[in-house]
Structure 1
Amino acid sequence: MSASPILITGGAQRLGRHCAERLCDDGHPVIISYRRERPALEGLRARGIVTLQADFGDQAGIRDFIARLRETTPSLRAIVHNASDWLPDAEGDEAADNFEHLFRVHMLAPYMINLEARELLEACGEPLRDIVHMTDYVASRGSRKHIAYAASKAGLENLTLSFAARYAPAIQVNTIAPAMIMLGENDDEAYAEKARAKSALATIPGPGVIYESLRYLLDNRYVTGTTLPVDGGRHLR
């Protein structure tokens, strides 16, 4: 446990929220970013988790978030880049707009935060300091229906290599690349059955496996510049 908080971007729902709550359970101070107000935030705030609204859709929003982050804490134990958006490919101007949006959320925001929050990590005073990028199974496989999404996640995965080399040995930088981890609110059993069939382990494990993967990276002193697949063996299919 560190006195310096762990930042999780996009921490108000799904995997980000689960990791924030588990870190809090383990005694870590936690800061999350969120895009819009939602009922779950009140529960997180009641537990002492600091919540910062952020819009990573443009450079001004990213810079505003970084400024408020610096006002909130003098140091960070880790940064977990979990903020994400899921947009299908479109046509014409909408396609270009969607690609630019995904680039800003998945690549530009982590890039700028990593550069400008480095001093917060270095001020931690702990032997372990980490940056973790949350990408996706499709970053290494591509996607027929979500080309822009897959490309921007692949770009985030590549940032891992560059920042790991640049920030070593003081800061470890790694990636977690999940596949199907948990169902959405509107997913039915037919969809779940198809999803389970895509992995060798034939299961939808739930968010706990992502927290276990995050803990492994946060606790290990000899891993940097790597991508940890959490996909149930999809590559075996």
Structure 2
Amino acid sequence: MPYALITGSAKRIGKEIALFLAKHGWDIIIHYNTSEDKANQLQDEVISLGRKCIIYKSNFLHADDYNQIMQEFKIGLLVNNASMFENDNLHNLKEKDLLNNLKVNFSTPLILSKALMQSHSGVDGQVNIINILDNIIFKLPKNFISYYFSKTSLANFTKLAAKLYAPKVRVNGIALGQIMQNPKQSEANFEKTKNAAPLEYGATVDEICYTIDFILKTKSLTGQIISLDGGSHLDNLNYP
């Protein structure tokens, strides 16, 4: 079985994706930046499921040779999950924050995808790239502007890469609403935002995993962005 490389997978949503894929027969490459202990714990969990597991440390704010890991391992799935965000706006936006968001949320996933595309020959069948996006891409937000520009760039790359990488690679995205409370977010704000969706419901990590499974099993699917946000993408003007 090829490896699945999930960026930012030592904790939270990335961890759950890694465990789900391991349970469904994938060998796993855990990427992390600073969460070494959690990455080691997750590696033990994956190995206990009978799968191979590699730990890959990389700070996406700095240059790295992504071709090396793509060539060293037989990778059939790349999940671009790692992300950063700043609560900024057009009045207080700082160039450094904008460039950092673009680096982590857009240019590194692009370069990783390019490296996978160029080294995919060792994988039987189609290679899959799944970009974890945010439903902010459908909105005109007042805040999180650096994050917004970086995620909309990744969404556009998803569609362009799907066209240019076909037929050997399928590229899709999943745009998330409120899934887990962010450490910087109050519980009241988390519940308010989640309940503001038309369905008064966000989504669960299980639903993310089910969607990944659906994408992997649906060989005709490429260039699609699936929203898991309770319908909040339908209101494209307001972002609480």
Using the size of structure 2 for normalisation, the TM-score is: 0.87
- The match for 1:67 is 68
Does 1:35 find its partner at 2:33?
yes
Q: 1:180-227 CA deviation, whole Å, 9 max, x = no partner? A: 112235755533431232112212432111111111111111111111
Does 1:82 find its partner at 2:100?
no
Does 1:108 find its partner at 2:112?
no
Choose from 185, 192, 195 the match for 2:193: 195
Where 1:39 maps in the other structure, the secondary structure is helix
TM-align CA RMSD: 2.1
Q: Do the aligned partners of residues 36 and 189 (structure 1) sit closer, same or farther apart at CA in structure 2, a change above 3 Å counting?
A: closer
Distance 2:96 2:191 in 1: 34
Identity across the alignment (%):
25
- The match for 1:4 is 2
Specify the code of the residue in structure 1 equivalent to 2:82.
A
Contact 1:78/1:121 (8 A) holds in 2: no
Q: Do the aligned partners of residues 167 and 69 (structure 1) sit closer, same or farther apart at CA in structure 2, a change above 3 Å counting?
A: closer
Distance 1:185 1:196 in 2: 16
| Unpaired stretches in structure 2, ≥5 consecutive residues | 48-52, 236-240
Where 2:226 maps in the other structure, the secondary structure is strand
Q: Do the aligned partners of residues 110 and 186 (structure 1) sit closer, same or farther apart at CA in structure 2, a change above 3 Å counting?
A: closer
- The match for 1:21 is 19
| Unpaired stretches in structure 1, ≥5 consecutive residues | none
Using the size of structure 1 for normalisation, the TM-score is: 0.88
Q: 1:114-156 CA deviation, whole Å, 9 max, x = no partner? A: 1122133332112x32111111000121321111101110000
Q: Do the aligned partners of residues 94 and 178 (structure 1) sit closer, same or farther apart at CA in structure 2, a change above 3 Å counting?
A: closer
Instruction: Note the C-alpha offset of 1:236.
Output: 4.6
Distance 1:17 1:42 in 2: 12
Contact 2:7/2:82 (8 A) holds in 1: yes
Distance 2:21 2:124 in 1: 19
Distance 1:69 1:129 in 2: 12
Q: Do the aligned partners of residues 67 and 93 (structure 1) sit closer, same or farther apart at CA in structure 2, a change above 3 Å counting?
A: farther
Distance 2:107 2:178 in 1: 25
Q: 1:77-105 CA deviation, whole Å, 9 max, x = no partner? A: 11111110021227899710000001111
The alignment of Structure 1 onto Structure 2 pairs a total of residues equal to: 229
Where 2:88 maps in the other structure, the secondary structure is coil
- The match for 1:129 is 127
Contact 1:142/1:151 (8 A) holds in 2: no
Choose from 56, 65, 69 the match for 1:52: 56
Distance 2:194 2:137 in 1: 20
Does 1:233 find its partner at 2:234?
no
For residues 174-193 of structure 1, what are the structure 2 equivalents within 5 Å?
Answer: 174-185=172-183, 189-193=187-191
Distance 1:200 1:55 in 2: 38
Q: Do the aligned partners of residues 153 and 70 (structure 1) sit closer, same or farther apart at CA in structure 2, a change above 3 Å counting?
A: same
Q: Do the aligned partners of residues 203 and 123 (structure 1) sit closer, same or farther apart at CA in structure 2, a change above 3 Å counting?
A: same
